Structure 1
Amino acid sequence: MEPDHQEVVARLSEARYLARCGCNGGTYHLYWDAATFRLTPEGLRFLAQVLEDLLERGGEGVVWLGTVDLRFRQEEGEALLRLLHTGLLPRRSRPGLWPRYVN
């Protein structure tokens, strides 16, 4: 179960999803099975670019996130890339207060 201060922005399954919170100006939390990775928006875009580059070469791959490696088959890599792209789509802003007309 995800913490209350996070908004899930993309989900593949109960154990694989991407959430965003207001921590440090908008941190993403990538939940992938038993691991959780905290990434800045720039870090998430960089991860998506690295995945795209690896998948273009085909086959399986390994991505290192700090000292942890994330191993995936072609299908898993494509699913992770879709998850990242979905989570990075611009969110419609919700106004806190609606403007009102005053005479």
Structure 2
Amino acid sequence: MKKLLAALLFVSSSAHAITGNELLASLENKEPGVRVYGLGYISAVADMTRGTIQCPNPNVTYGQAQDVVIKFVKENPEIRHFPASQIVTFILKQTWPCKGEI
């Protein structure tokens, strides 16, 4: 877990600064407009990092990326205070590393 926390400190992105807590709250919100914000946030970070930081198979969908992020954030409450962009980037990179970065 220490490696995870250290990695989160060094991963950066230019996405709007919200925390993992705020991201999860939007994803769990029953109001469609609020939930779409969280899903769009994950998709935007995925787009910004695709091919440079994370390299998923071309057949990987936004839905898969969203599922992976949601699962990780729910299962790791100790990291939710970090910026959501760092959390999402870290998760996507760990899930779909680029060649030579495993």
Alignment TM-score > 0.5, same fold = no
Higher helix proportion (structure 1 or 2): 2
The structure with higher relative contact order (CA 8 Å, sep 6+) is: 2
User: Looking at CA atoms only, which structure, 1 or 2, has the larger radius of gyration?
Assistant: 1
Higher strand proportion (structure 1 or 2): 1
